[in-house]
């Protein structure tokens, strides 16, 4: 299972929100590059970087942070937040992102998202399927669409969508465990897709359970910053993903 730490950016700083609420924000680091370098030191190769300012504004804002991390670390960056035009996509890739995650655009501008899949391929374009109360949320989780997660995924199967980052917003930042039932149902309904769990991971046991259940990947955010998952454990995951053990 791919272990992917997360860095969320507001005002150039590393932050975490609780359940997508911008009024419930905690700043964990002034310099996201320092955090990214810690992940590198732990042997991590991937990073999920989210522009929360961009997600709220509807266009990419914190592209300088992509440049900073891409220019000073070997991390493979998948970037999301505010990608709503071809110009936004160009800025993200030119700034150093190797992959992008499209959420709002996949709902609001499906033809543009399909064109991205056609032009860049599913290895570079990830579908962001984030839901609250069973419905897909968009625009930095500030708006709710009429689509369910299953409807959104099903609408892109014919376009070759491969990787899907799925977040149960009610779990995000709550540190009460991921939405295991949701992920198990999605893997059953869409066995050919690669699902990446995001939101709610609170401890090493959660990561173990996601792996056992067959998840392709897991994005870990607040648990790292609150140190309920340690850098030592991340290093253990990176060095030997086949033999996971729990640090007592």
Say if residue 33 is exposed, middle or buried (CB neighbours under 10 Å; 0-12, 13-18, 19+).
middle
Contact 72, 37 (CB under 8 A): yes
When pLDDT is averaged across residues 217-243 and rounded to a whole number, the result is: 83
pLDDT digits (tens, 9 = 90+) for 107-147: 999 999 999 999 999 999 999 998 887 788 776 566 677 78
Report if residue 214 sits inside a domain.
yes
When pLDDT is averaged across residues 57-83 and rounded to a whole number, the result is: 95
Q: What is the pLDDT of residue 236?
A: 82
Whether 8 is a known active-site residue: answer yes
Of residues 72, 21, 79, the one with CA closest to residue 50: 79
Report if residue 107 sits inside a domain.
yes
Q: What is the pLDDT of residue 154?
A: 95
Mean pLDDT rounded to a whole number for the chain: 89
Q: pLDDT-derived band of residue 43, with 50, 70 and 90 as boundaries?
A: very high
Report if residue 248 sits inside a domain.
no
Range scoring the smallest mean pLDDT among 10-14, 15-19, 86-90: 15-19
Find the domain containing 13 and state its range.
Answer: 2-239
The CA distance from 175 to 192, in Å, is 29
Catalytic residue among 8, 51, 88, 172: 8
When pLDDT is averaged across residues 179-196 and rounded to a whole number, the result is: 95
Report if residue 244 sits inside a domain.
no
Catalytic residue among 53, 130, 168, 172: 130
Report if residue 246 sits inside a domain.
no
Q: Where residue 180 sits, what CATH number does that domain have?
A: 3.20.20.70
Whether 130 is a known active-site residue: answer yes
Q: pLDDT-derived band of residue 246, with 50, 70 and 90 as boundaries?
A: very low
The CA distance from 68 to 140, in Å, is 23
CB-side neighbour CA atoms (13 Å) of 131: 23
Of residues 94, 2, 12, 90, the one with CA closest to residue 49: 12
When pLDDT is averaged across residues 56-77 and rounded to a whole number, the result is: 96
Report if residue 89 sits inside a domain.
yes
Report if residue 104 sits inside a domain.
yes
The CA distance from 234 to 221, in Å, is 12
Q: What is the pLDDT of residue 25?
A: 86
Q: What percent of the chain has pLDDT over 90?
A: 71
The CA distance from 229 to 216, in Å, is 19
| pTM score over 0.85 | yes
pLDDT at 242 over 80: no
Q: How many structural domains does the chain have?
A: 1
Higher pLDDT, 134 or 96: 96
Of residues 146, 134, 171, 47, the one with CA closest to residue 98: 47
Report if residue 105 sits inside a domain.
yes
């Amino acid at each position: 299972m791919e272990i992917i730490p997360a860095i969320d950016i507001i005002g150039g700083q590393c932050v975490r929100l609780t359940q997508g609420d911008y009024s419930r924000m905690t700043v964990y680091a002034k310099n996201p590059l320092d955090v990214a370098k810690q992940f590198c030191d732990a042997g991590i190769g991937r990073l999920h970087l989210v522009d929360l300012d961009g997600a709220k504004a509807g266009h990419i804002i914190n592209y300088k942070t992509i440049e900073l991390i891409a220019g000073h670390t070997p991390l493979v960056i998948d970037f999301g937040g505010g990608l709503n035009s071809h110009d936004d996509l160009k800025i993200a890739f030119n700034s150093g992102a190797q992959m992008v995650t499209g959420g709002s655009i996949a709902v609001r501008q499906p033809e543009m998202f399909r064109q991205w899949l056609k032009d860049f391929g599913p290895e570079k374009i990830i579908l962001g399927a984030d839901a609250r109360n069973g419905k897909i949320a968009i625009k930095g989780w500030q708006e709710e669409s009429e689509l369910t997660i299953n409807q959104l995924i099903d609408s892109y199967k014919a376009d070759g969508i491969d990787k899907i980052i799925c977040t149960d917003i009610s779990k995000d930042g709550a540190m009460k465990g991921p939405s295991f039932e949701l992920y198990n149902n999605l893997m059953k309904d869409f066995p050919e897709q690669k699902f990446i769990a995001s939101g709610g991971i609170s401890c090493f046991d959660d990561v173990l359970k996601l792996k056992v259940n067959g998840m392709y990947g897991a994005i870990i955010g607040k648990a790292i910053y609150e140190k309920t998952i340690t850098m030592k454990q991340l290093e253990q995951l990176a060095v030997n993903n086949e033999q996971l053990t729990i640090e007592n």
